Amino acid sequence: TILKRVAEFNELGCPVLIGHSRKAFIGKLLGNEAADRDVATAAISALCATSGAAILRVHDVGKTVEAVRLAAAISQVEG
| pLDDT tens digits for range 33-53 | 999 999 999 999 999 999 999
| pLDDT tens digits for range 49-79 | 999 999 999 999 999 999 999 999 999 998 7
> What residues does each domain of the chain span?
3-76
End-to-end CA distance of the chain: 30
Report the percent of the chain where pLDDT is more than 70. 100
Q: Is 57 a catalytic residue?
A: yes
* Residue 14's pLDDT band (cuts 50, 70, 90): very high
DSSP 15-78: --EE--TT-HHHHHHH---GGG-HHHHHHHHHHHHHTT-SEE--S-HHHHHHHHHHHHHHHH--
Which of 1-5, 13-17, 50-54, 68-72 is predicted with the least confidence, judged by mean pLDDT?
A: 1-5
CA distance 30 to 40: 9
Catalytic-labelled residue, pool 22, 28, 37, 57? 57
Ramachandran angles phi, psi of 78, nearest 5°: -90, 150
Catalytic-labelled residue, pool 4, 5, 22, 23? 23
